[in-house]
Amino acid sequence: MAFYSNFNSLLSISVPYSGFSLYKESFLTPHPTFSLYKTPFLCNSISTFYLRNISVDKTPVLCNSLSLFNTSKCSLKERFYKQKPDKRAYELNSEVSPHRAVSAVRLLRIEEGGAFADQLGWRENEMVYVERTLGFRVRELDDRNIRLVTEIVGGAVRWRRYLDFLIGSLCSNAETFRGMEPLLLQILRIGVYEIVKLEMPPYAVVDENVTLAKNALRPGAGNFVNAILRKLLSQKERNLLPVPEIEGTERTQARALATLYSHPVWMVRRWINHFGKEEAVRLMNWNNSEPSFSLRANGRKGITRTDLVLRLETLKVPHEPSLHMDDFVQVKTGMQIVIQKGLLKDGLCAVQDESAGLVVSVVDPKPGESIVDCCAAPGGKALFMASYLQGQGKVIAIDINKGRLQVLWEAAKLQDVDDVIRTVHADLRDFAAENSLKADKVLLDAPCSGLGVLSKRADLRWNRRLEDLEQLKDLQDELLDAASMLVRPGGVLVYSTCSIDPEENADRVAAFLLRHPEFTVSPVDKFVPNDFVTEEGFFLSNPVRHSLDGSFAARLIHSFN
């Protein structure tokens, strides 16, 4: 959740001692000095830090969500919010479209500040971010505007490469596009997305984005936005929008497909090699579609899927029962209502993709068992497994991130499973080496590329590099070795990822079995529908085939010998 006062104040701070890469939220206050793990460094503002692609004690951690780094006494977030500026310092600008202003600022926070698209939006502070970035206030967002912000931000992030292709083609020369200031570029992306993908009324799109540019930047910027968007409209009306030509060498075709479907070139080439061109295109189309979400009824509180469905019907939230999991309901729209009405806060249900629920089915937790969740935070699978135990047994949730573990623990109390959950703040490799614990079942939901969840994580495609996969494979091997040390003879080890990449999935299991002949594959066909079972006996959800997040799980048995 990085946000802005100005671009020059943004820092990425490397702390050599601990290896953290920290993305900072700037507040333009005096220059305090903070110390993390005995490493002092100078900040140009009091800041809230969020961890992203971090390492602690030589352990890389690829976070799927943002995590607040707490100091010993109180969080930096708490320290800052006692020092909020007076809102009356900013004049209300009623001419500017509020949802476009908020969208532009959010897009800045994502691209320039390292924030995550799916984690933005502290409602009470939304306008504070806008004021500090633009220098004026806009009207408060109503429910319709909130939905528009979500749709525009998600869409503009997904289609970034294609939108930039169109904007670049409309500029007088390549240098004009390359030298464009960040806020101006975000405004243009919003306008182009609204015209090309949302097909909003052209007059309103041009007029309101021009107004935003003139007020947030200067009159000349508004004139530039006006020229670009009117030229785009002219081409669209005559069916003359430029289209990348898919021809030539494999590399050239991959580059054109990457532009047309808005994905990184390396990702497209990799998917064509693994799955073929047609499947790669279908996968990119899925990633660019509006995501649906699933709600899991909390059986520990006596809530069945029927109970959850009745509540959703009362709230007029469109929904469909899961085809694969008895406790799950799919929700395409209306998540804001679910949140506002307190269904999550009261612990009646949890947001969890069915693919994650199917991984828990592979674990097959039963009352009385001891289960270790090795990379547990923020806790979706650990909480679901705990609900199966019915108050008998134990789930030991291990994670290297203390802040995320605290989130897990608070959720455990909300969902009434805190009696069977114990959290452990540790590096799994150190914990396994230093403890004699032997559990009935061990789940390693390993840090991974996240290439199976690109529909929900709109920004993730732009934050991954090919080099990340090589580093992740080494880490996955190390964590698998450590997790195996915690399994009792006759016990179960489940290795899972939210990736569709074979090198992170079946290849890692094959390499592990060569190092550990005491483990053998236990086919998952007894635990999940046959459509999810691979030839090797593993679980694999395919986003295109199953309309779920992509995920993988292998169930391995520790022999008695």
Range of the domain at 520: 355-558
182 is in an annotated binding site: no
171 is in an annotated binding site: no
pLDDT at 83 over 50: no
510 is in an annotated binding site: no
Please report, for the domain that includes residue 431, its CATH number.
3.40.50.150
DSSP letters of 215-255? HHT-HHHHHHHHHHHHHHHHHHHTT--------SSHHHHHH
pLDDT at 456 over 70: yes
CA distance 500 to 448: 10
Quick check: helix, strand or coil at residue 357? helix
Please report, for the domain that includes residue 114, its CATH number.
1.10.940.10
Question: Is 92 inside a domain boundary?
Answer: yes
CA distances from residue 283 to 43, 274, 322, 340 in whole angstroms, order as listed: 42, 12, 21, 33
Residue numbers annotated as active site: 498
pLDDT at 26 over 50: no
Q: What is the pLDDT of residue 112?
A: 82
298 and 232: one domain? Answer: no
448 is in an annotated binding site: no
Peptide bond into 378 cis (omega under 30): yes
Last residue of a domain, one of 332, 351, 370: 351
CA distances from residue 150 to 170, 198, 337, 455 in whole angstroms, order as listed: 27, 13, 14, 14
pLDDT at 42 over 80: no
Question: Is 243 inside a domain boundary?
Answer: no
Looking at the DSSP assignment, which residues form a beta bridge with residue 330? Answer: 294, 320
pLDDT at 16 over 50: no
Name the band, by pLDDT with cuts 50, 70 and 90, for residue 3: very low
370 and 465: one domain? Answer: yes
Name the band, by pLDDT with cuts 50, 70 and 90, for residue 57: very low
Q: What is the pLDDT of residue 61?
A: 32
- CB < 8 Å & 24+ apart, contacts of 191-194: 191/225, 191/228, 191/229, 191/232, 192/163, 192/166, 192/167, 192/228, 192/229, 192/232, 193/152, 193/155, 193/156, 193/159, 193/163, 194/152
Question: Is 82 inside a domain boundary?
Answer: no
25 and 168: one domain? Answer: no
Name the band, by pLDDT with cuts 50, 70 and 90, for residue 129: confident
381 is in an annotated binding site: yes
114 and 164: one domain? Answer: yes
Per-residue pLDDT reduced to its tens digit, 308-337? 999 999 999 999 999 999 999 999 888 989
373 is in an annotated binding site: no
Per-residue pLDDT reduced to its tens digit, 387-445? 999 999 999 999 999 999 999 999 999 999 999 999 999 999 999 999 999 999 999 99
Per-residue pLDDT reduced to its tens digit, 248-299? 999 999 999 999 999 999 999 999 999 999 999 999 999 999 898 999 999 9
393 and 506: one domain? Answer: yes
Question: Is 544 inside a domain boundary?
Answer: yes
377 is in an annotated binding site: yes
Last residue of a domain, one of 309, 330, 351: 351
Please report, for the domain that includes residue 299, its CATH number.
3.30.70.1170
Mean pLDDT to the nearest integer, 27-55: 28
**Domains in the chain, number:** 5
Q: What is the pLDDT of residue 52?
A: 30
257 and 148: one domain? Answer: no
R_g of the chain computed on alpha carbons: 24
Tokens of 205: 């799109």
Question: Is 1 inside a domain boundary?
Answer: no
With tokens 């052209």, the residue in question is 202
491 and 511: one domain? Answer: yes
Question: Is 523 inside a domain boundary?
Answer: yes
Q: What is the mean pLDDT of the chain?
A: 84
Q: What is the pLDDT of residue 123?
A: 53
375 is in an annotated binding site: yes
161 and 276: one domain? Answer: no
Question: Is 80 inside a domain boundary?
Answer: no
CB 304 within 8 A of CB 314: no
Mean pLDDT to the nearest integer, 164-179: 95
Last residue of a domain, one of 306, 333, 351: 351
400 and 450: one domain? Answer: yes
Question: Is 245 inside a domain boundary?
Answer: no
pLDDT at 7 over 50: no
347 and 359: one domain? Answer: no
342 is in an annotated binding site: no
With tokens 């992203």, the residue in question is 52
204 is in an annotated binding site: no
138 and 59: one domain? Answer: no
214 and 117: one domain? Answer: yes
Per-residue pLDDT reduced to its tens digit, 230-249? 999 999 999 999 999 999 99
Quick check: helix, strand or coil at residue 152? helix
pLDDT at 48 over 60: no
CA distance 462 to 115: 12
Tokens of 441: 């079942």
Tokens of 381: 């699978």
Nearest by Cα to 298 from 347, 363, 338, 342: 347
Per-residue pLDDT reduced to its tens digit, 63-78? 333 222 332 333 333 3
